[in-house]
Structure 1
Amino acid sequence: MTRISTSVTGLLGIDLPIVQAGMSWASSSSALPVAVSNAGGLGVVAAGPMRLPDLARVLTEVAAGTPRPWAVNLPLYRAGVDEVIELVLRHRPPVLIASQGGPRRYLERFHGIGTRCLHVVAGVPHALKAAAAGVDGLVVVGAEAGGHPPPAMVTTSVLVRAVAAAVPSTPVIASGGIADGAGLAAVLALGAGAAQFGTRFLASTEASVHPAYKEAVVAAGVDGTRTVGHGLGVIRALDNDFTARMLALEESGAEEDSRRKAFQAATLRDAALHGEVAEGKLEAGQSAGLVDSVLPAADIVARIVREYRAARAGLPPIT
């Protein structure tokens, strides 16, 4: 099997520095994580929206479906998180990716069973704190990312470089705006040890979202996303009737209550499960404009590797 050796592949025991983002609903099932891990990357189960019985079933399926390392993504703010942590511990995932909370809440218990622990950060101060707490690696999310971008809206290229310089002994995974092998080569040059791909794997055959959602990703341009929900929990989503309405409310200075009602009336669940592409929250990153087709996850991994080789070969030599 092809290998690209980096600090992250060595840490996690994977062949390729390709991490599939934990995406609510899209990877809240076993098919996508299993396919990515079997292709040499790191497949990630999104535990955020899952009920405990469903999560237990999916973790069992993933463990049975691949002999390779895989991960669970856990937002620490979700309801009943302590019960979720206990369930995940029983399934002994090779890797945990946690976000939206402090690492000390989980670190000792997962290290105790041999799990590698990665923490999602959106700035240098958070990276320094997480590294000092003893996490094994960091996922650094830039402004281009779909879902919840960093509050300061610093781009991936700047933020990854800043974090890599601030914590040089901690492996870094870059996330946000990366959809192909050229993007992988770019973030490795910035000091990351891997790239996390979200929107690219959202448009995969194994992603468990409605076909209309995937088609909307493929149809989007690089300027086809909007950030909305300012003051309410900003998200980046594909431009649709929902984002247009939110932008109009925000630009007109509407009261928070009106904005909150409009924001909460739309859901990611409706978009993902029911194909509500006009009024749902079609969370996706700016890299949607670089996605041109829905492909099997293994083909996406192979394509990223080919593009990475081409990007490296195309760099001018030093003379």
Structure 2
Amino acid sequence: MQTRITKLLEIEYPVIQGGMAWVANAALAANVSKVGGIGFIGAANAPAEWVRSEIRRAKEITDKPIGVNVMLLSEHVDEVAQVVAEEGVKAVTTGAGNPAKYMKQWKEAGIRVIPVVASVAMARMMERAGADAIVAEGMESGGHIGEQTTMSLLPQVVDAVSVPVIGAGGIGDGRGMAAALMLGAEAVQLGTRFIVAKESTVSQAYKDRVIGAKDIDSVVTGRSTGHPVRSLRNTMTRQYLEMEKNNVSFEELEHLTLGALRKAVVDGDVAMGTVMAGQIAGMIKKEQTCAEIIQEIVQEAKETIKKCSIFAEDSCGNEAEHA
């Protein structure tokens, strides 16, 4: 399954692990890279020296390419941008802003720059700024989301830019990967599926909540603030939605969720913590190693594409026969 993305990032499979805050540390990212995909350390709002130590820890685990997801709204972003340039990571994905300010610095360091976008306009802007590839992420994903679904966003972004596009949001197995490839993607980015990887260091309570999720268990909070977030339903989300319904202040909403992601990921508080997960959580039924996840997804994608090819051949044959 070689594509422009596998060549660009020098990886075996077109599978990318999303840089999830608090979840995507060196252990997870390195083990995804080790087995042929590419893992991204989630810098989130962490200080630069934490990011540096995680990059170095990942390099102790594997000599395969690794990346860092840089949150552009972080108060430490300037220092983090410098650290990733100094440490020589293979790629950077960016979210929550425009990475143009750091593009020259990263390019000179030989880093592939891959912004995550939720609209065609942003995709075009990022290509003009010099992006090497684009992640088109639909609203099915966990965490901060846009308004378009992957099914509608992905092909429009593919048509709008010439750089390779990575599909993200609502992709949890090989059928989803095959669908993304059929829509023009040249790789897929997975987040929720890797949360329950055996190498993932998130709390067992978090993993169990994802594994036990039903198809209707994800909910979006924060629409009233302009910063919608998808997570799994719990006591906190019910309180948050009720507060939104009653038009409470932004400050009160912020206070409710202060440190909530850490509560779930580190402390295992899945009642009052934010259990970020995408809509595909209902598909996930067990913990697996990163190798098992990638191999299963790639094999299923190949089989799905093969079935489509056979179906197309049969259709052509039937049409010819009727003609």
Query: When the two structures are superposed, what TM-score results if normalisation uses the length of structure 1?
Result: 0.94
Deviations 1:45-101 (A, max 9, x none): 111143333322211122232222111110111012111111121101111111222
Could you tell me which of 189, 203, 227 is aligned with 1:210? 203
Task: Verify: 1:17 aligned to 2:11, yes or no.
Answer: no
Q: CA distance change for structure 1 residues 260 and 56 in 2, over 3 Å: closer, same or farther?
A: closer
Inter-partner Cα distance in structure 2 for 1:70 and 1:258: 38
Is the 1:238–1:284 Cα contact (8 Å) retained in structure 2? yes
Aligned residue for 1:94? 90
- Partners of 1:260 and 1:34 lie apart in 2 by 33
Q: Is the 8 A contact 2:44 2:70 kept in 1?
A: yes
- Equivalent position of 1:185 in the other structure: 178
1:284 is matched with which residue?
277
After superposing the two structures, state which structure 1 stretch, 197-206 or 81-90, moved more.
81-90
Which residue pairs with 1:7 in the alignment?
4
1:256 Cα deviation from its structure 2 partner: 4.0
The one-letter amino acid of 2:197's match is S
Q: What does 1:202-241 align with in structure 2 at a 5 Å threshold?
A: 202-232=195-225, 233-241=227-235
Q: Pick which of 63-72 and 190-199 moved more.
A: 63-72
Conservation of the 8 A alpha-carbon contact between 2:85 and 2:111? no
User: CA 1:65/1:189 → structure 2, altered by over 3 Å: closer, same or farther?
Assistant: same
CA distance in 2 between counterparts of 1:256 and 1:82 reads 27
Q: Look at both structures and tell me which one has the larger radius of gyration over its CA atoms.
A: 2
Q: Secondary structure at the match of 2:144?
A: coil
Identity percentage over the alignment?
Answer: 34
> How large is the Cα RMSD of the aligned pairs?
1.4
CA distance in 2 between partners of 1:236 and 1:67 (Å): 34
The range that moved more, 191-200 or 239-248, is 239-248
Of residues 249, 253, 264 in structure 2, which corresponds to 1:259? 253
**Aligned residue type for 1:70:** I
Cα distance between partner residues in 2 of 1:205 and 1:116:
28
Distance of 1:78 and 1:199 partners within structure 2:
23
The answer as to 2:153 corresponding to 1:159 is yes
TM-score by length of 2: 0.92
State the SS of the aligned residue for 1:85: helix
State whether residues 174 and 301 of structure 2, in contact with CA within 8 Å, keep that contact through their aligned partners in structure 1: yes
Matched residue, 2:39: 43
Aligned mates of 1:78, 1:258 — CA distance in 2: 21
Amino acid aligned to 1:81: V
Find the counterpart in structure 1 of residue 52 from structure 2.
Answer: 56
Decide which structure has greater helix share: 2
Deviation at 1:305, TM superposition (A): 1.4
Cα deviation 1:120-159 (Å, max 9, x = unaligned): 1110110110011111011111010100011xx1101110
Deviations 1:263-308 (A, max 9, x none): 44x6101110000100001111001011111111111111111211
Most deviating of 281-290 and 304-313: 304-313
Question: What stretches of structure 2 of length at least 5 have no aligned partner?
Answer: 317-323
- SS of the aligned residue for 1:19 comes to strand
Partner Cα distance (1:298, 1:197) in 2: 14
The one-letter code of the counterpart of 1:56 is R
- Count, aligned residues: 311
Greater shift in the superposed pair: 111-120 or 228-237:
228-237
Assess if the C-alpha contact under 8 Å between 1:43 and 1:70 holds in 2: yes
Q: Distance in 2 between matches of 1:42 and 1:258?
A: 39
- Cα distance in 1 for partners of 2:45, 2:77 equals 11
For 1:123 and 1:39, the matched residues in 2 are separated by 31
- Cα offset, 1:162, TM superposition: 0.8
1:149 aligns with 2:145: yes
Separation (CA, whole Å) in 2 of partners of 1:304 and 1:72: 23
Q: What is the alpha-carbon distance in structure 2 between the residues aligned to residue 34 and residue 259 of structure 1?
A: 35
